[in-house]
């Protein structure tokens, strides 16, 4: 809670300090001291030789207005693109819901169909393989032939 008063106080103090000064000073001076450090100031230094530096003024009113118009155009373009994106997202969501509903309907229809019945009658589905007789583990035992040497035939 103490952050808000500090921010307000700093904003008021910065307005007081910077309201009388222009952004660009009329003259700027540059000099180098005995240790080789470079200094910049709005007043010339009396001890070392100061060099006056010219500063270009800020942009004119026309350039500022053009920049504001470009910014407004960019903002309107960004807003329209955002609206289009949201519409596409809503459309995708609606399509996904529709697909989910169709899938749920298909699954419900498949759950209602008894297993083994085929819906489209193309190939029968079996719930399990049919019960074929199992093969014998051993071949059948040979029966002795009658004395005639050939198997007995039934009489007609």
- In this structure, are 46 and 85 located in the same domain? no
Q: Give the domain extent around 29.
A: 24-58
Q: Nearest 5°: CA angle at 144, between 142 and 149? A: 120
The domain tally of the chain equals 2
> Is 140 a member of any domain?
no
> Is 38 a member of any domain?
yes
Instruction: Give me 142's structure tokens.
Output: 């040979």
> Is 153 a member of any domain?
no
Decide if pLDDT at 117 tops 70.
Answer: no
Between these two residues, 62 and 19, which has the higher pLDDT value? 62
The residue count for the chain: 156
Distance between CA atoms of residues 103 and 111, nearest Å = 12
Between these two residues, 120 and 91, which has the higher pLDDT value? 91
Q: Report the pLDDT averaged over residues 89-112.
A: 92
Residue 122: per-residue pLDDT: 61
- In this structure, are 103 and 85 located in the same domain? yes
Share of the chain above pLDDT 70, in %: 54
Instruction: Give me 78's structure tokens.
Output: 């960004």
Q: What value does the mean pLDDT of the chain take?
A: 76
Decide if pLDDT at 143 tops 50.
Answer: yes
Q: Report the pLDDT averaged over residues 15-43.
A: 71
> Is 28 a member of any domain?
yes
Beta carbons within 10 angstroms of residue 26's beta carbon: 7
Q: How far is CA 24 from CA 30, 82, 143, in A?
A: 15, 39, 125
- How do residues 38-71 score in pLDDT, each as one tens digit? 888 888 877 667 888 877 778 889 999 999 999 9
Distance between CA atoms of residues 3 and 9, nearest Å = 10
- In this structure, are 78 and 47 located in the same domain? no
- Of 50, 17, 21, 20, whose CA–CA distance to 33 is shortest? 50
- In this structure, are 108 and 79 located in the same domain? yes
Q: pTM here?
A: 0.36
Instruction: Give the DSSP letter of residue 2.
Output: T
Decide if pLDDT at 108 tops 70.
Answer: yes
Between these two residues, 147 and 150, which has the higher pLDDT value? 147
> Is 91 a member of any domain?
yes
> Is 67 a member of any domain?
yes
53 with 31: CB under 8 angstroms? Answer: no
- In this structure, are 68 and 103 located in the same domain? yes
Between these two residues, 148 and 109, which has the higher pLDDT value? 109
> Is 78 a member of any domain?
yes
- In this structure, are 53 and 74 located in the same domain? no
């Amino acid at each position: 809670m103490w952050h808000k008063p500090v921010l307000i106080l700093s904003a008021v103090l910065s307005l007081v300090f910077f309201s009388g000064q222009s952004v660009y000073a009329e003259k700027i001076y540059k000099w180098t001291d005995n240790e080789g450090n470079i200094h910049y100031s709005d007043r010339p230094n009396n001890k070392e030789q100061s060099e006056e530096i010219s500063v270009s003024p800020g942009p004119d009113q026309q350039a500022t207005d053009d920049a504001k118009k470009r910014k407004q155009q960019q903002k309107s373009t960004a807003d329209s693109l955002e609206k289009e994106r949201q519409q596409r997202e809503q459309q995708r969501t609606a399509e996904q819901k529709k697909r989910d509903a169709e899938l749920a309907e298909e699954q419900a229809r498949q759950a209602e169909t008894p297993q083994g019945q085929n819906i489209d009658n193309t190939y029968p589905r079996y719930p399990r393989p049919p019960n074929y007789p199992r093969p014998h583990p051993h071949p059948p035992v040979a029966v002795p032939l009658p004395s005639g040497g050939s198997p007995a035939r039934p009489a007609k």
